[in-house]
Amino acid sequence: MNRNERNNVLRRISFSSSSSRNYYRCQFIQQLDRWGYRIISLGFLFLTVGILSGAIWANEAWGSYWNWDPKETWAFITWTIFAIYLHTRKKKKLEGINSSIVASIGFLIIWICYQSIRNRTT
For residue 16, the one-letter residue type is S
- Give the residue, 51 or 24, on which the prediction is more confident: 51
C-alpha–C-alpha distance, residues 29 and 4, integer Å: 37
Whether residue 53 is predicted with pLDDT greater than 60 in this model: the reply is: yes
Residues 6+ apart with CB under 8 A from 82: 40, 43, 44, 47, 106
> Model confidence at 17, in pLDDT bands (50, 70, 90)?
low
